[in-house]
Amino acid sequence: MRGIDTPVRKIRREVFKEIANLAYHSENLIGDMEALPYKIIQTDSPKYRESIYRERAIVREQLRLAMGLSLRPEHVPVHLTQGLKESDIDEKYYEPPLMQVIPSACNCCPENDYKITERCMGCVAHPCREVCPKGAISMVNGKSYIDQEKCIRCGKCKAICPYDAISHQVRPCSAACGVGAIESDELGRAAIDEEKCVSCGMCMVSCPFGAIADKSQIFQLIRAIQSGRKIIAQVAPAFVGQFGPKVTPGKFKTALKQLGFADVYETAIGADLGAMAEAEHYVEEVATGKLPFLLTSCCPSWSVLAKKYFPETIDKISNELTPMVATARIIKEENPDASVVFIGPCASKKLEASRRSVRSDVDFVITFEELSGMFEAKGIDPETIESETPVEDATAIGRGYGVAGGVAGAIEKCIRQTHPEVDVMIEHAEGLAECKKMLLLAKAGRKDGCLIEGMACPGGCIAGAGTNIALNQAIKEINNFKAASPRKMPL
């Protein structure tokens, strides 16, 4: 649903804008926070749910998450603003769990059901009944009928129906989760198994009820800017096109400076360095047979997937710094007194930044969606900015990291330029389900000699949970950005 301005997205954007407004303008934080559900849901009658009371209850939980707070327990009286004073600071790390289900927003969608639709013609052949291994299908009033008590959800009836009259209903969040982390609570509502979750955020963007949300640092980031500290932004390559078709990289950089950032770097700087380093790693370790294969490390959810589900691959994951961390270290070497915010498309970068080994490098992580709320609260429209600040930090291959296949492609180009005698074998997988299959094949020895790129989001970073535009448009924008790069290679 990315790229479509649905009511779910509009409410999320409104929540981010109002939390940013609190930081910019509020003189009575607790009172203004309490008033926000009524400001966001202003009507006397519900627009999307059965009551405005439920709509406001859901917004209250979204506001807490956007403030960096956890959801309130359902059976314990906890005030909306409890913990607010502790969050009114200029530095706050993400506290797990990052992804959370708002119980009052969940629609208790069917987990795995086959239903007969009105398309059923009651045909004489009745193949759905004939192939059912449990005799769960019969004729009732001239139409097929599935006895849900007998049905084993094998799908044979749907596959054979000549009229496509059988619908397979699944939870959108569960279908989007490639690691099976979506379960059900005792009331049939979605619940996230934290032991399985890798914080990719695909469940969040797939839920049509807005029942899953992640925590934000926008309030604390604004506080840090207001404190007078030197805050430097690094932006992921996928930023192009995310803030309107007329927003050039130069306009975007100017807009960030108008928000109060002291400077702006491209995260693609770290991607350039990583591509060269991983090229050497492949040549020295995989091409010589010391390692059977090499896994890229720039996608945090992919790395966590490998470590959680395939621990035997841990020593095959590249130990090079991710582009986010490499760029942050460059920034802090050049600006020892600065704090760094990573602005990108990715929810799982919040997970990466919360690791103790990364905390000293990256102080804040926000998504493009959250940044849009900051622009709106501050009254900045990047499209109308006249002056442009040059964006010329990185090369084309580093900027290509945002698209699936871009990481492996960049490393391959570096190898072919520096070691033309080395044969390179490249593989890439996108989406956690495909990533798991790829790791299974690697474990079985069927990917020996390969450099394997994994991206948790289908399409790559440009399809991350914090993006604003449709995938096809994002691909086009990245390709144009790469083509316009004066430097093609970092070598």
For 260-297, write each residue's pLDDT tens digit: 999 999 999 999 999 999 999 999 999 999 999 999 99
Is residue 281 in a domain?
A: no
Q: pLDDT averaged over the chain?
A: 95
What integer pLDDT is reported at residue 461 of this predicted model?
A: 96
Pairing status of strand 364-367 against strand 230-235: unpaired
* Residue 379, in any domain of the structure: no
CATH number for the domain harbouring residue 137: 3.30.70.20
The verdict on residue 155 lying in a domain is yes
Q: How far apart are CA 250 and CA 266, in angstroms?
A: 12
C-alpha distances in angstroms, 33 versus 18, 55, 379, 407?
9, 16, 20, 42
Mean pLDDT throughout 140-161? 96
8 Å CB contact between 482 and 402: no
Q: pLDDT tier at 1 (50, 70, 90 boundaries)?
A: low
DSSP, res 68:
T
Which tens digit of pLDDT belongs to each residue from 158-213? 999 999 999 999 999 999 999 999 999 999 999 999 999 999 999 999 999 999 99
Tell me whether residue 152 is in a domain. Answer: yes
Q: Which helix H or strand E contains 16, and what residues bound it?
A: helix 7-25
Has residue 459 been placed in a domain? no
- pLDDT, tens digit (0-9, with 9 covering 90-100), for 43-100: 888 889 999 999 999 999 999 999 999 999 988 999 999 999 989 888 888 888 899 9
Q: Does residue 339 fall inside a structural domain?
A: no
Residue 81, domain member (yes or no): no
Which pLDDT value is given to residue 358? 79
What pLDDT is recorded for position 465? Answer: 95
d(CA 320, CA 337): 25
State how many domains the chain has: 1
Biggest distance spanned by C-alpha atoms of the chain: 78
Quote the domain boundaries for residue 152.
Answer: 112-170
pLDDT value at residue 91: 83
pLDDT exceeds 80 at position 229? yes
61 to 36, 43, 57, 244: CA distances (angstroms) = 11, 19, 7, 29
210: left (phi over 0), alpha (psi -120 to 50) or beta: left
Counts for the chain of helices (H) and strands (E), in that order: 20, 15
Within-domain flag for 273? no
pLDDT confidence tier of residue 351, bands split at 50, 70 and 90 = confident
Counting residues of the chain whose pLDDT is more than 90, the rounded percentage is 90
Confidence grade of residue 323 (pLDDT, cut at 50, 70, 90) = very high
Q: Please give the C-alpha separations between residue 349 and each of 22, 98, 223, 464, in angstroms, as whole numbers.
A: 25, 11, 21, 10
Quote helix, strand, coil % in the chain, to nearest 5.
45, 15, 45
**pLDDT given at position 5:** 87
- In terms of Cα–Cα distance, which of 405, 457, 446, 411 is closest to 427? 405
Cα 195 to chain centroid distance, Å, stands at 18
Q: What is residue 64's predicted lDDT score, i.e. its pLDDT?
A: 97
CB 226 within 8 A of CB 219: no
Residue 360 has pLDDT above 90, yes or no: no
Asked if pLDDT for residue 376 goes beyond 80, the answer is: yes
Q: Is the dihedral of CA 165, 168, 173, 175 positive or negative?
A: negative
